A and B are shown apart, each in its own frame.
Chain A
Amino acid sequence: MALPAPLRIRDLSKTVPGGRVLFEGLDLDLSAGEVVAITGESGAGKSSLLNLVAGLDAPDGGEIWIGGRALSSLNETERTRLRREQLGFVFQAFHILPHLTLAQNTALPLVLAGVEGDTALARAAELLAAVGLGGREADFPSRLSGGELQRTAIARALVHQPGLILADEPTGNLDPETADRSLALLLDAARTRGAAVLLVTHSVRAAEVADRTLVLGRSGLRDPHAG
């Protein structure tokens, strides 16, 4: 029996307060290990789409399935648990907690899932080594560069082996060279582990390395290369 798709969206619509329609009739399917980049104008609703997929906001219509589970059938506690187990996140502003060490920051998803501290830290150390931060486990974020912070965030997004990674402008705060390296690292690590990636970006370079690039508009997602 085939595993359920990491992400399936049908006929999704979202209106912001004030009545402006962000998008409607939005469909999307992601298969395991696939990387999809979503671009669009500012205010098109790219981040809102990610919030809907993460279960942090509710759509006005349509349905989202994560790993085969419809978000509308889940209550808040179940959605929180689903995020914890099946989703990884990478943000533009890194969001690395300043008072925790790199290992502790990386281990957060495991600890939240109830994994015992030492086990979680050991697994975090493996991931940090995989993103080129081996031996830096006990460092605090204040001693890291932007690129290193984003690599820590990538390690955190992968440490609990999620089926889907949501990345919101992951290179937006990085210089071009560091951005390329970080993006390559994220996509390689995700593909190696079979995780799908939904990447929201303005970056042409980022869109180029994705398996598919889609443009978000009021009528949903469209492939710019399709007729």
Chain B
Amino acid sequence: MPADPALPPTLLGWMVRGEWRANPVRTLVAVLAIAVGVALGFAVHLVNRSALAEFDSAVRSVSGSADIRIEAVTPTGFDEALYPRIARLPGLAAVSPVIEIAARTTAGDALTVIGLDPLRAARVTPALAAASGPGSGMGFGSGSGRDVEDAVWLSPATGWRAEPGAGSATFEIREGGRRIVLPVAGGLPGVEAGRRIAVADIAAVQQRFDRVGRLTRLDVMLAPGIRPDAAAREISAVLPPDARLVTPEAETRRTSDLSRAYRVNLGMLAMVALMTGGFLVFSAQSLSIARRRPAFALLRVLGLQRRGLFLQVLAEGASLGVLGAALGLVVGAGLAWGVLGLLGGDLGGGYFSGSRPVLEISPAWAALHAGLGMAVAIAGSLLPALEAAGAPPAEALKAAGRSGDPERRPPLVPALVLGSVGLAAAFAPPVAGLPLFGYAAIALILAAGVAAMPWLARVMIAPLARMRAPVPVRLAAARLAGAPDQAAVALCGLVASAGLMAAMGLMVSSFRGSVDDWLVAILPADIYLRIATAETSGLDPGLQAALAALPGVTGMESRRSLTLKLAPERPAVTLLAIPVPPGTRVPDLPWRRAPTTVGPGETPVWISEPLSRLYHLAPGDTLDLPLAGRSTPLRVAGVWRDYGRQFGALALQQSDYVRMTGDTGANEAALTLAPDADRAEVLAQVRRALPPDLAAQTEIAPAGEIRQAALKIFDRSFAVTYALEAVAVLVGVAGVAATVSAQTLARRREFGMLRHVGAGRGQILAMLALEGAFLGAVGAVAGLALGAAMGQVLIQVVNPQSFNWTMDTRWPWGLLGGLTLTLTLASALTALLAGRSALSADAVRAVREDW
């Protein structure tokens, strides 16, 4: 007795293969749509994973097997007296003091100079120490005697190579306007490729780089059996305000946080492409089901259970998903490999500069992305499967190609419910710092828009049927008005892709416009100069005065900027010590909210919008600033807009900063020129005024150039976004083309009948082109309305929750107009081309098929 399965596998195989054989192009488009989404999602994941792994490896190579790190909150470091106090604490196996300095090579490449105690470093950072070197005399600490006390060991990426018999080599390092030449003692073969590191004895680095008595880090190894949290409590109790304890977990989180929002956004864009693919599968399956109603009815009559038919259609969708996912994984891996080579690990986002990570593939994540592709394909088949299973077999067997009842008004309630839930989700707070509800809101609004299409199509198309116009126009209008459900199926993909493109276009246009306004506001002077790698030195007061006195210069503002770690689990923020214009009590900043005054004896601090949101600070709150070995309470007096420092910045009045630190130096300056001053001449004078070594490390540029460069960086960082968006739209347009052409080809009998009753070939083609144009226009208009709603969620919810900055809405009218025109024309053209193909068949034969 054979088994009684709901869906016999043999039948499934025959039906799937039969459908593929009959409609290879439509099958291929649906498979490609899924593949594109999976490929983009998987590629973005692989690139991020590889970049983070590379970054993690880089951190491990310089901090070794430390269980806990104690870091200085500013690059000026902390007092080295902390080292013996920590080393004496119980439960610590080893403590390695470190001084780390950001410098440059003579070629201008970034170089990390690390000062270590060789004896302690051998235990904590073996990758840098002599024991790790494959050859004799290699690795920090190899060799002995006075000749290595002052020497430096270099990683392969610095370009230094040991050459037998070459004698004693030297290596020149530039930092803060200084040139420091050190003898080379050997190489650092344990450091991975691409990392430029110079390691020397800690005392030598302190002395040669003018950091005597200062340390930037202590790497701590715990004794066996000691719990990190217990040790952390003991250590925290003795830490001064300018040092912070960082666990490996916090370090990993901080690294990941650097690019998390950017990564999630790119991932979501890939999901958008995948969702568009899902709509395409829906369109393809809906058409296929409509076309095969009699075939499914026959199977039901012959004995296929309702559930079996439902599973049959779902399995067809899943088969598209399997093929699409498999193709997507292969293409995604290839894409990631190519992107890593071309753009690096941050996809042009600028988070991991200089890194060239190696591709790392995780089978679990590959399975997850494949599963997502299949899930989307199955979800796209769900409604068609329900429709197929729900059709009464006897009726369906007689009514081939039946379309919906034009008198029936499609329901609007599901769309209203989805839209309302989406709107509510937009007001929800972020989850773990990510705008998950914001993304959910976009998905729900999109779903609401698509669910409203049958209703909207009817409402928008019905008036067309009453138009008084030439025959082709009336035929086209009557056809669309008479089959609104078919129009709605075609419109689904169109509205989804138009809506998503409009939403992204609106967001990018608003962001770019706001950034441009901000650049104009923060660059009021004519010429700006900034000294690279000079957080602890740079323009001394004498030099500042010399610059101010240059001919043609009518005003000069100098600034000190330095990085500061306010919280161990967050990336560093930027501290700006800036002058307050005479006669005012607040600096000239692009204010988000009007600044407030502070009480007598209080020191004001003006914080950037990201800092305000990340650290939950508002005007009137107190911010404890860890600076110069102590913690100083400051009163938040204002919030300013800042798109340059995603992790936050705070501005202090220059005089307050000098009072707190005694540091009168500066590393940035803004020069205002006389109206008749020769800008090129002043630029040349500025370069001549600076000492040669400092001039080599100073970036000097007119404000206009900086603005152009900043916008160029903006466009570059959005390049991947544009690319993903374009792919999503292409998938959508392909879907529209597939849907319109399938619907057109399915109407050969109708065209045959029209030819029989006297309609000319040209009239039928004109009717089809008009139908396509109507559909395209309706879809574009509905899509733009939907896109405006989704764009506002991106602007008001997703961006502030992802990047902690807000922006003003700017409508990209050109893009929206172009989009409407393109979709209308593309739709008309597709219908026309499909119509030519359909009309090529003999009209008499087409009609006879219906007898």
Decide whether A and B are members of one complex. Answer: yes
Interface residues in chain A, defined as those with a beta carbon under 8 Å from any beta carbon in chain B: 47, 51, 54, 56-57, 76-77, 80-81, 83-85, 89, 91, 93, 95, 97-100, 104, 108-109, 111-117, 120, 156, 173
Rounded to whole angstroms, the CA-CA distance of A85 and B1 in the bound complex is 12
List 8 A-B pairs, minimum CB-CB distance, nearest first. Answer: A84-B303, A99-B18, A114-B2, A117-B10, A56-B394, A112-B303, A51-B394, A99-B22
Are B19's CB and A111's CB within 8 A? no
- B735 adjacent to chain A (CB < 8 Å): no
Rounded to whole angstroms, the CA-CA distance of A114 and B392 in the bound complex is 23
Q: Which residues of B contact A112 (CB under 8 A)?
A: 8, 11, 299, 302-304
Rounded to whole angstroms, the CA-CA distance of A197 and B15 in the bound complex is 29
- Between-chain CB contacts (< 8 Å), 13 pairs: A47-B398, A76-B306, A81-B4, A84-B302, A84-B303, A99-B15, A100-B18, A108-B11, A112-B11, A112-B302, A113-B2, A113-B4, A173-B851
Q: Which residues of A contact B21 (CB under 8 A)?
A: 99
Rounded to whole angstroms, the CA-CA distance of A11 and B11 in the bound complex is 39
Which one of A91, A98, A100, A109 lies within 8 Å of B303 (CB-CB)?
Answer: A109
Q: Which residues of B contact A81 (CB under 8 A)?
A: 4, 303
Q: Which residues of A contact B19 (CB under 8 A)?
A: 99
CB distance from B559 to the nearest CB of A (A): 74
Are B397's CB and A91's CB within 8 A? yes
Are A116's CB and B10's CB within 8 A? yes
Which one of A93, A115, A173 lies within 8 Å of B2 (CB-CB)?
Answer: A115
Q: Which residues of A contact B397 (CB under 8 A)?
A: 91, 95
Are A104's CB and B14's CB within 8 A? yes
Rounded to whole angstroms, the CA-CA distance of A115 and B13 in the bound complex is 14
* Nearest CB in chain B to that of A173: its residue: B851
Are B305's CB and A77's CB within 8 A? yes
- B301 adjacent to chain A (CB < 8 Å): yes
Number of interface residues of B (CB under 8 A): 31
* Nearest CB in chain A to that of B2: its residue: A114
Q: Which residues of A contact B119 (CB under 8 A)?
A: none
* Nearest CB in chain B to that of A119: its residue: B2
Given A57-B394, A95-B397, A116-B2: A89 touches B18 (CB 8 Å cut-off): no
- B317 adjacent to chain A (CB < 8 Å): no
Rounded to whole angstroms, the CA-CA distance of A138 and B299 in the bound complex is 20
- B684 adjacent to chain A (CB < 8 Å): no
- B3 adjacent to chain A (CB < 8 Å): yes
Rounded to whole angstroms, the CA-CA distance of A30 and B402 in the bound complex is 35
Q: Which residues of B contact A57 (CB under 8 A)?
A: 394
Q: Which residues of B contact A114 (CB under 8 A)?
A: 2-5, 8
Given A83-B301, A99-B19, A100-B18: A111 touches B392 (CB 8 Å cut-off): no
* Nearest CB in chain A to that of B303: its residue: A84
Rounded to whole angstroms, the CA-CA distance of A115 and B11 in the bound complex is 10
Supply 7 further A-B pairs (C-beta < 8 A) apart from A83-B302, A116-B10: A56-B392, A80-B300, A89-B301, A97-B18, A111-B11, A115-B2, A116-B2
Rounded to whole angstroms, the CA-CA distance of A120 and B302 in the bound complex is 15
Rounded to whole angstroms, the CA-CA distance of A93 and B399 in the bound complex is 11
Are B294's CB and A95's CB within 8 A? yes
Mostly helix, strand, loop or mixed at chain B's interface?
Answer: helix
Q: Which residues of B contact A83 (CB under 8 A)?
A: 301-303
- B393 adjacent to chain A (CB < 8 Å): yes
Within 8 A of A (CB), among B297-355: 298-306
* Nearest CB in chain A to that of B296: its residue: A97
Given A54-B301, A80-B303: A97 touches B295 (CB 8 Å cut-off): yes
Q: Which residues of B contact A76 (CB under 8 A)?
A: 306
Are B5's CB and A56's CB within 8 A? no
Rounded to whole angstroms, the CA-CA distance of A81 and B511 in the bound complex is 62
Are A120's CB and B295's CB within 8 A? no
Q: Which residues of B contact A91 (CB under 8 A)?
A: 397
Rounded to whole angstroms, the CA-CA distance of A24 and B14 in the bound complex is 43
Q: Which of A104, A108, A112, A156 has the most CB of B within 10 A?
A: A112
Q: Which residues of A contact B393 (CB under 8 A)?
A: 56
Q: Which residues of A contact B4 (CB under 8 A)?
A: 81, 113-114
Which one of B2, B22, B304, B392 lies within 8 Å of A80 (CB-CB)?
Answer: B304
CB distance from B309 to the nearest CB of A (A): 10
Q: Which residues of A contact B394 (CB under 8 A)?
A: 47, 51, 54, 56-57
Rounded to whole angstroms, the CA-CA distance of A91 and B22 in the bound complex is 23
Q: Which of A47, A56, A57 has the most CB of B within 10 A?
A: A56
CB distance from B285 to the nearest CB of A (A): 16
Q: Which residues of A contact B22 (CB under 8 A)?
A: 98-99
Rounded to whole angstroms, the CA-CA distance of A89 and B295 in the bound complex is 14
Q: Which residues of A contact B2 (CB under 8 A)?
A: 113-116
* Nearest CB in chain B to that of A156: its residue: B302
CB distance from A94 to the nearest CB of B (A): 10
Q: Which residues of A contact B13 (CB under 8 A)?
A: 117
* Nearest CB in chain A to that of B16: its residue: A99
CB distance from A141 to the nearest CB of B (A): 11
Rounded to whole angstroms, the CA-CA distance of A47 and B304 in the bound complex is 21
Are B302's CB and A89's CB within 8 A? yes
* Nearest CB in chain B to that of A91: its residue: B397
Q: CB-defined interface of B224-265 with A at 8 Å, one 1/0 digit per residue?
A: 000000000000000000000000000000000000000000
Q: Which residues of B contact A51 (CB under 8 A)?
A: 394
CB distance from B13 to the nearest CB of A (A): 8
Q: Which residues of A contact B15 (CB under 8 A)?
A: 99-100
Are B303's CB and A113's CB within 8 A? yes
Rounded to whole angstroms, the CA-CA distance of A142 and B196 in the bound complex is 71
Q: Which residues of A contact B303 (CB under 8 A)?
A: 80-81, 83-85, 109, 112-113
CB distance from A215 to the nearest CB of B (A): 22
Rounded to whole angstroms, the CA-CA distance of A44 and B107 in the bound complex is 97
Which one of A77, A97, A117 lies within 8 Å of B298 (CB-CB)?
Answer: A97
Q: Which residues of A contact B5 (CB under 8 A)?
A: 114
* Nearest CB in chain B to that of A157: its residue: B302
Rounded to whole angstroms, the CA-CA distance of A115 and B4 in the bound complex is 9
Rounded to whole angstroms, the CA-CA distance of A128 and B303 in the bound complex is 21
Rounded to whole angstroms, the CA-CA distance of A173 and B21 in the bound complex is 28
Rounded to whole angstroms, the CA-CA distance of A99 and B292 in the bound complex is 11
CB distance from B745 to the nearest CB of A (A): 14
Q: Which residues of A contact B3 (CB under 8 A)?
A: 114
Are A108's CB and B18's CB within 8 A? no
Rounded to whole angstroms, the CA-CA distance of A117 and B851 in the bound complex is 34
CB distance from A7 to the nearest CB of B (A): 17
CB distance from A81 to the nearest CB of B (A): 7
Are A109's CB and B302's CB within 8 A? yes
CB distance from A50 to the nearest CB of B (A): 9
Are A120's CB and B301's CB within 8 A? no
Q: Which residues of B contact A116 (CB under 8 A)?
A: 2, 10
Which one of A56, A85, A97, A173 lies within 8 Å of B301 (CB-CB)?
Answer: A56
Rounded to whole angstroms, the CA-CA distance of A111 and B10 in the bound complex is 7
CB distance from B305 to the nearest CB of A (A): 5
